[in-house]
Amino acid sequence: MLKTIKQRQIFRLYLLFIISLMIMPINSSEQLNNITVLQLRGDYFFHGALFIPWAYFSFTNNKSIFLWLFIGLLVAGLSEGIQYLLPYRSFNINDILANSIGIFLGFAFSFLLNPFKSKS
């Protein structure tokens, strides 16, 4: 459980933001698909950045970090899996990879910035 009501509300808003981005018919992907950085499309960076905050919530609840990491990876995969079922969205395995990298980066940043709050 998240420690405070405010933290629960922030997490709910964050999750709602992820869900809304995953189901909205966004047509701007063509613009993001044409941006490349080191031969990677720009939307991969957006996918990764979207999931970096996931790690923050592992430190504000009572679940183990490994369980929270597993749940995050599950949400990262499901977010693309749902798009596979929507006719106006497109599924991309690289987006799942970018989402997962974002989760791992978030945990890495969390451990680097605050190693004493980590728990197993």
**Which runs of E-coded beta strand occur in 57-99?**
none
Strand partners, 36: 41
Is the full-model pTM beyond 0.85? no
All structural domains of the chain with their residue ranges: 5-117
Kindly report the backbone phi and psi dihedral angles of residue 118, in degrees, each rounded to the nearest multiple of 5, phi listed first. Answer: -70, 145
Chain segment 56-94, per-residue pLDDT in tens: 887 776 668 889 899 999 999 999 889 888 888 888 888
Which residues have CB under 8 Å from 84's CB, separation 6+?
A: 91
CA distance 114 to 55: 12
